[in-house]
Structure 1
């Protein structure tokens, strides 16, 4: 972890007497403040703070560490920032975490366009559906589709993700078309491990309905369930951006017109706004512009209203 930032965090804790107050002053999550303090104590090989339920106080080792941290920050403040950072030009490597379906459908092309615009940057993509610890995994930016945000992290809204209930014509021919939302409970539904595995949330004209679903196939990657749906395995709830080409080609059919699966937010998640690198700032701006320019993110889950 960065020692300068760790020193800033430790000084802020000592001066404000609270990790929560330090997090607010530094515009940083409390979880990040806790991790920086833990790393400081690891480097010092001894406890730096006495902790109680009501207050924090410095140990003798903490008093020495505080003086050294203040000296370090004074020296750091006198150092000139690199010219490209002063100019706000992005350089360097950005490590991004993203689910496979979103990476394949959207992010790969968006990152390619970003790298062309900023040729002195590089991106390291980490693909996976499970949320990762940004600090431990050394991830600068996580792109997540969720309505359940960790309050300890900072999130920038990028777009709204619509979904669609769909199945292959072969499945419908064999098992029939669900006519009402409640009919889903009688069908083989392909469920996603990280969201809505047993309940699918649907909306229509202000009415909300939670439909219990089950099936003989679940997975922790939505693109796998999409392929299974095309093969006729069952009914799937899929992000519209993934299912749209298959709905247009007729490989999948949108079900339950009028009922809309609950929309999810697409967010850029990062650990701290303080001293945000130019590459992270410009990537967030670029992705927000990219999503805003793409039609269909707010579209309903029916074939008639798919993005063109």
Structure 2
């Protein structure tokens, strides 16, 4: 395994206090974080962290290793920074859905392309997964709970959703008070996800779900939002998509005591070895904006 990456993972575990927090910060899976920690301990020849159900404790050997791994991480960043200072040029092909292009990518492109005038970006809008090799895509930016297998998936942030309907629809059909009530309404749902269930978290962090039905599904969230504003039903759409309608009173937020399950935004590409500088810089820009 990559020892520089193992050192980076170890640093994040120590700084953030848990393997799960390191996983989220680095955009890699929890099992992969454990594998990198095991690799670090094999490399050091000692137990670096005591793990219990409540907390992590750095061992004396871990404290010594941490000084060295932080130095290694700084050196690695210096080397990467020297390579990254090359002016990105050429064409970067990006695949994403309509919502991602409109609300995540479009806001950063003017400054990004002004900063790197020798770079050209081609955006392929497709609401379904694409073949990165077959379509010659450098990076796909996807909102999903299931990153495409065989790709490097860098987590860039989260997409918050909102449950909403128009005042006219609620006057005619009533306002749902519980998750279970949604089963009796016309629900407008996104066709890009398997199954016809919506998922929420209550104030205690407990997961709730409901099977829904409706007469309209679409792969474009803006269409679902417009249908909801027209009084056709209840929609679960990205909060950024619904924000203008909510501000104008054309949409009403429902079940405010619950949080719709968040989906992650990933930048997915094929190889971790020497990705183009433009790819790294674009994902950095997206991640910074989403923070």
Same fold at TM > 0.5: yes
* Equivalent residue in structure 2 for 1:188, among 171, 186, 189: 186
In 1, are the aligned partners of 2:94 and 2:122 still within 8 Å (CA)? yes
Range moving further from structure 2, 113-122 or 179-188: 113-122
Q: Which piece of structure 1 moves more, 130-139 or 102-111?
A: 102-111
**After superposition, what is the alpha-carbon deviation per residue over 1:110-160, rounded to whole angstroms, capped at 9, x for unaligned?**
122210111111111111211111111111111100111123110111111
Deviation at 1:210, TM superposition (A): 1.3
Q: Is 1:248–2:272 an aligned residue pair?
A: no
Question: In the aligned structure 1, how far is the partner of 2:99 from the partner of 2:121?
Answer: 18
Separation (CA, whole Å) in 2 of partners of 1:86 and 1:217: 46
How many residues were matched structurally?
Answer: 209
Query: Does the Cα contact within 8 Å between 2:183 and 2:212 map onto a contact in 1?
Result: yes
Unaligned runs of 5+ in 2: 1-81
Structure 1 counterpart of 2:104: 106
Deviates more, 1:144-153 or 1:254-263: 144-153
Equivalence for 1:94? 92
Determine the structure 2 residue equivalent to 1:238. Answer: 237
Q: Are residues 1:152 and 2:150 paired? A: yes
Per-residue deviation, 1:88: 2.2
Taking the aligned partners of 2:252 and 2:84, their CA distance within structure 1 comes to: 53
Counterpart CA distance in 1 for 2:240 and 2:139 is 21
How much does 1:268 deviate?
0.6
Residues 152-206 of structure 1: CA deviation (Å, up to 9, x unaligned): 1101111111111100111111111001111000000001111265110111121
- Is the CA contact (8 Å cut-off) linking 2:156 and 2:267 kept in structure 1? yes
Which whole-Å deviations, capped at 9, do the CAs of 1:24-76 have from their partners, x for residues lacking one? xxxxxxxxxxxxxxxxxxxxxxxxxxxxxxxxxxxxxxxxxxxxxxxxxxxxx
Q: Which residue of 1 aligns with 2:167?
A: 169
Note if contact 2:95-2:125 (Cα within 8 Å) is conserved in structure 1: yes
Kept in 1: contact 2:140–2:268 (CA 8 A): yes
CA shift at 1:106, angstroms? Answer: 2.4
The structure with the largest alpha-carbon Rg is 1
Post-superposition CA distance 1:56-111 (Å, at most 9, x none) = xxxxxxxxxxxxxxxxxxxxxxxxxxxx9785221111111111012112211212
Question: What is the SS of the residue equivalent to 1:241?
Answer: helix
Deviation of 1:224 (Å): 1.1
Paired residue for 2:287? 288
3-state SS of 1:126 partner: strand
Give me the whole-angstrom Cα distance separating, in 2, the residues matched to 1:85 and 1:121. 16
Corresponding residue SS for 1:109 = coil
- CA-CA distance at 1:247 after TM superposition: 0.7
| Alpha-carbon distance change, 165 to 268 in structure 1, aligned in 2, over 3 angstroms | same
Aligned match of 2:271: 272
User: Partner of 2:177 in structure 1?
Assistant: 179
Moved over 4 A (4+): 84-87
Contact conserved, 1:191 with 1:197, CA < 8 A, in 2? no
Call closer, same or farther: CA 1:197–1:113 in 2, change over 3 Å.
farther
CA contact (8 A) 1:171 1:232 kept: yes
1:140 equivalent to 2:153? Answer no
